Amino acid sequence: MRLKIVQVGEPVLRRQARALMTEEILGPETRQLIEWMKETMYDAPGVGLAAPQIGLPLQLAVIEDRAEFLKDVPAELLHSRERRPVPFLVLINPTIVWRSEEQVEFFEGCLSLAGFSALVKRSRAVTVECLDGEAQPRRIEAQGWFARILQHEIDHLNGAMYIDRMEPRSFMNVENLNRYWKDLPITEARRRLALTAES
């Protein structure tokens, strides 16, 4: 079942989501919800989906960066983004317990801000503690694009969106991203943004 993805402006996207109890996680409703979220993420398509994005203020997200998403991305971009396939994961009540001081900046989009993108700085590496779909504790150490996905989805569970962290001058629609900016190294994109600020 494909669920409706709510768009920016919906109050649920700006609220702190509530934690799930063990009995809720193991109940049939949550198991069904996880399957529907997985289907919705695949259909969108996206690499992550948080419960607030389907209108539910719950500390639940699913992620998967499938190999098929990477097959047409140039090798140098995959390398610069440290992007590799990530298997399907369920994150319940996640907390970032460590983040690197080193930050990296890339264009980022969101299913709840359809059709737009912007440069966003995030920690290059993070450690996340959470429960999985079986209510078992998990500790996830991630870097590169995987770390970015985790930070993006956990932001959603805390009422934040990438537009809260973006470089405002870089905000654009996806059509112009693909036309002018997509294949530029980030240092060059930054240089061009600085030039437009001066003109």
Give the catalytic positions in this structure: 153
| DSSP letters for the chain | -PPPPP-TT-GGGGSPPBPPPHHHHHSHHHHHHHHHHHHHHHHTT-SEEEGGGGT--BSEEEEEE-HHHHTTS-HHHHHHHT---EEEEEEEEEEEEEE-S-EEEEEE--TTSTTEEEEEEEESEEEEEEE-TTS-EEEEEEEHHHHHHHHHHHHHHTT--GGGTB-GGG-EEHHHIIIIITTS-HHHHHHHHHHHHH-
